[in-house]
Amino acid sequence: MTDHMPRRSHSRGAPPRIGRVAMSIAFAGHEVDLHRHELRRGGQRVHVEPQVFDLLVHLVRHRDRVVSKDELFEAIWNGRIVSEAALSSRINAARKAVGDDGDRQALIKTIHKRGFRFVGTVEEAAEKPTAAAEPAAPEPRPARRSRRPSIVVLPFRNISPEPDTDYFSYGLTEDVIRMLARHRWMDVLSRHSGAAYRDRDVDAREIGAALGVRYLVHGSVAKHRERVRLVADLVCAETGRQLWSDAYDLPLAEVLDVQRAMAEQIAAVIEPELARLEREAAVRRPPVDLGAWDCYQRGLFHLWGFTTPGMNEAEAMFRQAIALDPGFARAHGGLGYVLLQKAAFGAPAARPALLDAALRCGRAAVALDDQDCMNLCVLGRVHCFRHDYDEATALLEQAIAINPSFAQAYFALGFTLNFCGCAREAIGYLERATALSPRDPHLSSFHAIHGLAHFALGELEEAAAYARKGARVANAKHWPSLILTAALGLLGRMEEAGRALRDLLERAPGYTLAAARSDFFFCADKALVDRCIEGLRRAGLAEGPVPNGTMPHAAA
């Protein structure tokens, strides 16, 4: 069987381990905390995806023998069809997490044609007996909380009137966990953590205290004939307050396709909600009590305002985060993104140096964590702004492959394709970004660039419609008004174009045709820029210089 071929795990699997639970396992300077589902090195948490964590624990548990590939397929994927490449990827990730690699194999050894074996020296904490095969609910007790947000996804409750539909709710729960875990800035507990609360009414605060989490997700699935209704809720585990809720009612054409799409949708909506809450919490925290994570969140809070003072404060916060923790990949990525935005905000003469600095930061972030979709997205955007479109496209496609629910990567890829002459292809990615995150803080930009893609295709009515959508968003800057003015100018609808131009000048006082042309510095499609400038000229925008260092936000 070749590495790229899918295979189904066999039923024999691993022997059950009912009746005993080890709370922690230590080896080679690492500790596996089975209660919190964490891997730590020297007391510091090491991020691992849930499947990688489960694989590592399984190998350590069965270190007295060789564990076959078939057993791992059954234990980790529960009979799902996966490829051998997927297993190889998880093995490589497990080795990397514990400081091992495929050449040394000091801890995880490949046994040719037989499987894998954990060969490190292990110390297990005392085990305590359990009476039941099903996991018992942990006793509520205070748990140590980290500054990073932590979340547990409780099993979605199956309330279907039809029998034998538990597989759908189980699969949806697992997929939501998997999608959320791909956002590496948050701690997502594995599916085992929430299993004890299946079909039980327990107060969110009690669960939060027991598991040491800040947030929890729960919901229900109701399948009836050829339709399925999903309800999902995000709850604060510290207060019990519901933070977000939504319901989805859709035809059940293909069970697995619906399950995957809904998991992506739920994860895509929850992630920016959590990010907003974390930014606001960091801003409220006393300055004397700031750690690297708090500085990073404060940086994001100021960055998303897209003002010159905000950008300066964001840069200072990201630099402080890096000073406190030089290995904090996201802080390097955040600094790269704020420098990129400063290149868009500021004087054209400063752009080359800012883009060079942004490139260094983006590369540093990816070098520290090449599996973080945001880091890849930042580096991809830097390459786009430098006209390195092929490299940008490759990085952004990689970000989407790692995290299919990350709306920003879809937007960034649509943005890139639009400005290198592939507007028709760009539209699909921009639509996907909007569908995944309909309340995204960048929604104005989603609509604006969507409108510009139609503008590039000569579809001016559609361009105006999407530009209007973008201008209606509360935090919209001048970019949607620019596109609307240009489209209406070319359509010859001068009264409407005049109103759009006045709105543009209110959002960007002193704006000129030269400033508009400068705004398109990241665009290689000269014909698109010329048509846009001509539309603005017909609408009445004046000639004039580029405002020095006071330009509004060019494109988020």
Which strand (E) or helix (H) includes residue 332?
helix 329-345
Q: Above pLDDT 90, what percent of the chain?
A: 34
pLDDT at 77: 65
CA distance 191 to 212: 15
Q: How do residues 131-176 score in pLDDT, each as one tens digit?
A: 333 444 444 433 333 466 788 889 888 887 766 666 677 777 877 8
Torsion of CA 115, 116, 117, 120, to 10 degrees: 170
Amino acid at 412: A
Looking at 444-504, which runs of residues are DSSP E strands?
none
Calculate the alpha carbon distances from 23 to 61, 125, 208, 318, 554 in Å: 12, 6, 19, 36, 52
Asked if residue 487 has pLDDT above 90, the reply is yes
**What pLDDT shows up at residue 551?**
43
How many degrees, rounded to 5, is the angle at CA 79 between CA 40 and CA 82?
75
Fold of 24-124: Arc Repressor Mutant, subunit A (1.10.10)
User: Would you state the pLDDT for residue 554?
Assistant: 42
pLDDT of residue 125: 65
**108 close to 100: Cβ distance less than 8 angstroms:** yes
User: Can you give the pLDDT at residue 541?
Assistant: 95
Identical fold, 24-124 and 288-398: no
What is the rounded average pLDDT of the residues 252-269? 69
Higher pLDDT, 215 or 43: 215
Q: Specify the pLDDT at position 252.
A: 65
Reply yes or no on whether the pLDDT at 90 is more than 70.
Answer: yes
The upper half-sphere exposure of residue 169, i.e. CA atoms within 13 Å in the direction of its Cβ, equals: 25
Confidence class for position 463, pLDDT limits 50, 70, 90 = very high
Between 53 and 416, the more confident residue is: 416
Q: What pLDDT is attached to residue 81?
A: 54
- Give the H or E element holding residue 157: strand 157-158
Task: Select, from the ranges 85-89, 133-137, 179-183, 479-483, the one with the highest average predicted confidence (pLDDT).
Answer: 479-483
Judged against a pLDDT cut of 70, whether residue 332 lies above it is answered with yes
Closest CA to 264 of 423, 400, 383, 461: 400
For 416-434, what is the mean pLDDT? Answer: 93
The model's pLDDT over 221-240, given as tens digits with 9 standing for 90+, comes to: 887 777 778 888 888 888 88
C-alpha distances in Å from residue 13, one per residue of 64, 358, 391, 408: 16, 48, 42, 39
Q: How many helices (H) and strands (E) does the chain have?
A: 21, 17
pLDDT of residue 138: 43
Residue 128's φ and ψ, nearest 5 degrees, are -120, 140
The pLDDT of residue 75 is 75
Confidence of residue 19 (pLDDT cuts 50, 70, 90): very low
Residue 49 has pLDDT above 80, yes or no: no
The three-state (H, E, C) secondary structure of 359-421, written as one string:
HHHHHHHHHHCCCCHHHHHHHHHHHHHCCCHHHHHHHHHHHHHHCCCCHHHHHHHHHHHHHCC
What are the respective helix, strand and coil percentages of the chain, to the nearest 5? 55, 15, 35
Place of tokens 């947030």: 215
Enumerate the domain spans of the chain. Answer: 24-124, 150-284, 288-398, 405-555
In one-letter notation, the amino acid at residue 540 is: G
**Which is more confidently placed, 306 or 164?**
306
Is 149 or 324 the better-scoring residue by pLDDT?
Answer: 324
> Mean of the pLDDT values across residues 49-64?
84
For 114, the 3-state DSSP assignment is coil
323 - beta bridge partners?
none
pLDDT at 498: 96
Residue 436: in which H helix or E strand, if any? helix 423-436
Burial 180-198 (b: 16+ CB within 10 A, else e): bbbbbbbbbbbbebbebbb
Homologous superfamily of the 288-398 domain (CATH): Tetratricopeptide repeat domain (1.25.40.10)
Report the percentage of the chain scoring pLDDT > 70.
83
Model pLDDT for residues 358-415, shown as the tens digit of each residue: 999 999 999 988 888 889 999 999 999 999 999 999 999 999 988 888 889 999 999 9
What's the pLDDT score for residue 53?
84
Beta strand 187-188 with 157-158 is unpaired
3-class DSSP state for residue 227?
A: strand
- Does the structure show a pLDDT above 80 at 546? no
Classify strands 150-153 and 215-224 as parallel, antiparallel or unpaired. parallel
**For 270-298, how does the pLDDT look when each residue is reduced to its tens digit (9 = 90+)?**
777 777 777 777 666 665 556 887 888 88
Residue with the bigger pLDDT between 477 and 503: it is: 503
What number is the average pLDDT over the span 466-478? 91
Q: Compute the C-alpha angle 17/58/49, nearest 5°.
A: 125
CATH number of 150-284: 3.40.50.10070
Residue 452's pLDDT band (cuts 50, 70, 90): very high
Q: How far apart are CA 439 and CA 514, in angstroms?
A: 33
Whether domain 405-555 has CATH 1.25.40.10: yes
- CA Rg, the chain, in Å? 26
pLDDT exceeds cutoff 60 at 45: yes
pLDDT at 288: 54
- Any idea which of 108-122, 148-162, 438-452, 538-552 has the lowest mean pLDDT? 538-552
Mean pLDDT, the chain, as a whole number?
Answer: 81
Interior/surface letters 3-34, b for 16+ CB within 10 angstroms, e for the rest: eeeebebeeebbeeeeeeebebbbbeebbbeb
Summarize the confidence of residues 476-482 as an average pLDDT: 92
Confirm if 385 and 379 have CB atoms less than 8 A apart.
Answer: no
